[in-house]
Chains A and B, each alone.
Chain A
Amino acid sequence: MNTDHGAGRITVSMELDGRHRSEEIPPHTVLLDLLRDRMGNTGVKASCERGVCGACTTLIDGVPTASCSLFAFSADGCSVETVAGQSGSGEPGPVQRAFAECGGFQCGYCTPGMVMLATALLREHPAPTDQQIREWISSNICRCTGYGMILDSVRRAAELIREEA
């Protein structure tokens, strides 16, 4: 992080969805605002902005994190993964395809966060138990689906990842 600027600005650098990005920002900028407002990554959703609902979930060095409750400088030098990075060469990735196939979304507002949460879950537990899926998904809120079809989507995503490995 470079703080050698006038007007109290800092430079934050990160590996965003596999690409090096660097941005000069006021120090109080939260990561969510940096991603959405300055970098145009509106796939990351803003909702409760209290770190509760998980709509803004991104992976910071692989760890699911509420980007609304993290100063951008905390992600300096980190890998930041968002829903935008889950579509390799424009095609939806396996977790995204599983959510589409199983109907694990309705209004879609929680979906980018759910996709990132499921991505992290399946990296840690490639063959998760139903209990593990429930526990992990319980950190994000979906108001539409009643969760059943999200749980189905995660199970299906695990299959797709295994098939493609």
Chain B
Amino acid sequence: MTAPSASGRPAAFGQAAPRKDARLKVTGAARYTTDVALPGMLHAKVLRSPHPHARLLTVDATRARQLPGVHAVITRDDLGGLDAVFGYFIKDQPIVATDKVRHIGDPVAAVAAEDEATALAALALIEVEYEVLAAVPDVESALAAGAPELFSGRKPRGVVPPYGTGASAELWPRPNVCYEFRYETGPDAVWAGCDHVFEDTFVFSRMNHFHLEPFVTVADARGGRIEVWTSTQNPFPLRKEIARVFRTEESAVRVNVPFVGGGFGAKHNCKTEPVAILLSQLAGRPVRYCLTTEEGFLTLSQHSAVMTVKTGLRADGTFVARESTVLLDAGGYTDGSPLVAEKAGYRIPGPYRWEHVRSSCACVMTSTTPAGPFRGFGATQATWASESQIDMIARRLGMDPYELRVRNLKALGEPFMPGESGIDSDLVEGLDLVAAELGYHERGTRPNRGMGLAIGFKDGGGVNKPAQARVKINATGHVFVSAGSVEIGQGISTALCLVAAEVLGLPPERVSYAAVDTDTSPFDQGTNASSGMTVTGRAVQLAAEQARDRILEFAAGRLGCEPADLELVDWGVRQGRTVHPLPPMIAQVFGGTGYEFSGDGFFKAPNSPEAPLDAPCVFWEIGWAGAEVEVDPDTGAVTVLKLVASGDVGRAANRLVVRGQEEGAAVMGYGQALFEEMRFEDGVLVNGEALDYRVPMAEDLPASFVSVSQEQRHGPGPFGSKGAGEGTLVPVAAAIANAVHDATGARITTLPLTPERVHRALRELPGQSS
């Protein structure tokens, strides 16, 4: 940790000053991948499967290739020489379909032409013969005996990462299941000592990420090199995957990442990149490939889930054991599903004391849009089940749900599971804050009005995530922070600059965040798991400290004193009561052209065989939510009168950034709770475009929406910080369902809480005529 400045107050960290990217973004000058244009650039479009599941008999692109203005076409016959499948743990997704199509929208052929209109005209000339196969539209049909298999015969190759005590996983354990994660701790004999055992099943709907900047790539693959500008969250893993698919070295691949117009988890690994690169290779011209919003709906989604939770407890309400079974709908390709399964399965016990836990989470392949990482990453699904059931149990036992939680919550510092790191938030403190803001303990008994609470819980910082950073300072004291963390709107560029400013004793205006490209940026595993502050931020802090130490050493040499006698302040060194400006000292030694001091930093949490996921969690991301609702008994409509959401960021680097992350996440959860979902009928997506797919608008906000930022200061990041951005999404749906239960006595176990669903639940209450 750095020494505080002479005044004892941080100079930069913790302000509410405008973000570093404010001016570029409010003036429209910020450059995104959609704005990148290269001379001679062609435009790509893709032919997509109209069938959820079909064998590809013939693909004939002869006429498309002859259309004037067409420069390159890809069908399965054009993949020679490539390792043309990609994926995270499992390599199963082809650049274009080779044997079968596995969801509506699965790419079958691609065209690069002078403009998009010509490319679309060429697609219409491609003749495809399909043998339609039986669809597997949902988890239930995919797991039924004798169900058609999306991947039959030899399975796509994959890996299971190393796990520690109690955790394991298996690839392709049974038909249509690509991955199953399991976790167990404590003796299962304790079930015999339970006074109550409750088992409930929950259904979680799926959302589209709806990032406003579409999936988009500009590729230039001429001259034996591959260069892309792309809207991605993880440039380095993407570079590795591109190098493997195109059978080249990572040094021959350069990934440039301009500003990203929203990701929310969607923009990982290969999306638009392989098609753009291959077309560019074939055409010998740069190629731009930009999806429409409709195509985005066919490319990736959140995981829907079916979850069964069995909980045993003693008569006094003490939790004993919890056994959970999670089935995630992975869609037609595996994408990030194994990782999401690991997290959903691991997190579902919640931050409570258990004597025995057993969880399993299976990724079930269905002939629908592939599912992958989505803000919350399995925790949203798990928390919907876990936190709903806690209220159900409390009411069955005649207890207050708040009391049941407080009785069983883990204390600050207590490990989540054996071998894990300690929980770095005071969970009761956060719950009390939200309960007080809501007026939970004073709530009345007005009919159809009620309140609910919930705690969202996830391990943050990524598993086994390394990050490096570089900080350099020119002769006038202007700082460049280089790291591989991508600015996707979350404010990480601002936060990392504030870390460097704080260490170097410089005002934040002097610090800039360098553009991210894989040739020059320090390595980073990816912009995910709310890891920017606690992993990349630590690397930046260490880099800035090294640079600071080098500056002080240099100045000490010039002044004939010890570095320890000096403090860096406003690009001068303070020695006692005298401040010596650095620029003249630098000019004397390095000449008028100047010099750049620099420092490098690296951070990775250590591994441990005792930790279930191979490394103890970097930090715990907690979200607390409370809701007050009014339910219309005639229509089933739920009105949220007040929503309170709170996260603990340990310490805020910038208050505007933190508030924005917490409110944005909470509203995403609010939409999911009440109305937002991808609707499938007979396995066909029926609202896959902007007009029919309803995301929250300003008019949807609750009459009162309060976000409470906590700074409990127990975080492992710079200056006690933790990550942010996902926690407050996670508990919102359960808090609202718990409030509906409080208001009406009716429990809805399926999301979203639509009027018809609530109305049906009200009619099914004992004593109601049907």
Residue numbers in B under 8 Å from A82 (CB-CB): 28
A39 to chain B, nearest CB (A): 13
Contacting pair B293 A50 (CB below 8 A): yes
Residue numbers in A under 8 Å from B490 (CB-CB): 106
| Given A45-B212, A47-B213: A143 touches B262 (CB 8 Å cut-off) | yes
Contacting pair B23 A109 (CB below 8 A): no
Query: Is A80 on the interface with B (CB-CB < 8 A)?
Result: no
* Interface mask (A82-116 → B, CB under 8 Å = 1, otherwise 0): 11101100001000110111110111111110010
A69 to chain B, nearest CB (A): 11
B733 to chain A, nearest CB (A): 15
Which residues of B in the span 27-72 have a Cβ within 8 Å of any Cβ on A?
27-32, 34-35
B228 to chain A, nearest CB (A): 19
A97 to chain B, nearest CB (A): 8
In the complex formed, the residue of B with least CB distance to A28 is B117
29 contacts between A and B (CB under 8 A): A45-B34, A45-B212, A47-B690, A48-B689, A50-B689, A50-B691, A52-B690, A55-B212, A82-B28, A92-B26, A102-B656, A103-B18, A107-B259, A107-B260, A107-B262, A107-B489, A108-B26, A109-B32, A111-B26, A138-B698, A138-B700, A143-B212, A144-B262, A145-B660, A146-B668, A146-B701, A147-B696, A148-B701, A149-B663
Query: Is B261 on the interface with A (CB-CB < 8 A)?
Result: yes
Contacting pair A145 B293 (CB below 8 A): no
Query: Is B563 on the interface with A (CB-CB < 8 A)?
Result: no
Residue numbers in B under 8 Å from A101 (CB-CB): 18
Query: Is B255 on the interface with A (CB-CB < 8 A)?
Result: no
CA distance A87 to B27 in the complex (A): 7
* Interface mask (A39-74 → B, CB under 8 Å = 1, otherwise 0): 000111111111011010000000000000000000
A158 to chain B, nearest CB (A): 16
Query: Is B22 on the interface with A (CB-CB < 8 A)?
Result: yes
Contacting pair B697 A141 (CB below 8 A): yes
Which residues of A in the span 129-165 have a Cβ within 8 Å of any Cβ on B?
133-135, 137-138, 141, 143-151
B397 to chain A, nearest CB (A): 35
CA distance A111 to B707 in the complex (A): 22
B698 to chain A, nearest CB (A): 4
Residue numbers in B under 8 Å from A92 (CB-CB): 23, 26-27
Contacting pair A100 B691 (CB below 8 A): no
Query: Is B699 on the interface with A (CB-CB < 8 A)?
Result: yes
- Nearest 8 interchain pairs by C-beta: A43-B28, A107-B489, A109-B261, A108-B25, A146-B667, A103-B656, A106-B489, A48-B690
* Interface mask (B692-717 → A, CB under 8 Å = 1, otherwise 0): 00011111110001010000000000
Contacting pair A147 B293 (CB below 8 A): no
Contacting pair A83 B28 (CB below 8 A): yes
Q: How many residues belonging to A are interface residues under a CB distance threshold of 8 Å?
A: 49
B623 to chain A, nearest CB (A): 13
Residue numbers in B under 8 Å from A55 (CB-CB): 212
CA distance A49 to B32 in the complex (A): 17
Residue numbers in B under 8 Å from A106 (CB-CB): 262, 489-491, 660-661, 664
CA distance A148 to B19 in the complex (A): 17
| Given A134-B701, A148-B663, A149-B660: A53 touches B212 (CB 8 Å cut-off) | yes
CA distance A82 to B292 in the complex (A): 23
| Given A42-B35, A108-B259, A143-B264: A135 touches B699 (CB 8 Å cut-off) | yes
* Interface mask (B665-698 → A, CB under 8 Å = 1, otherwise 0): 1111000000000000000000001110001111
Contacting pair A147 B660 (CB below 8 A): no
A66 to chain B, nearest CB (A): 11
B736 to chain A, nearest CB (A): 15
Contacting pair B666 A100 (CB below 8 A): no
Contacting pair A145 B663 (CB below 8 A): yes
| Given A52-B690, A103-B659: A147 touches B701 (CB 8 Å cut-off) | yes
| Given A42-B31, A87-B27: A146 touches B663 (CB 8 Å cut-off) | yes
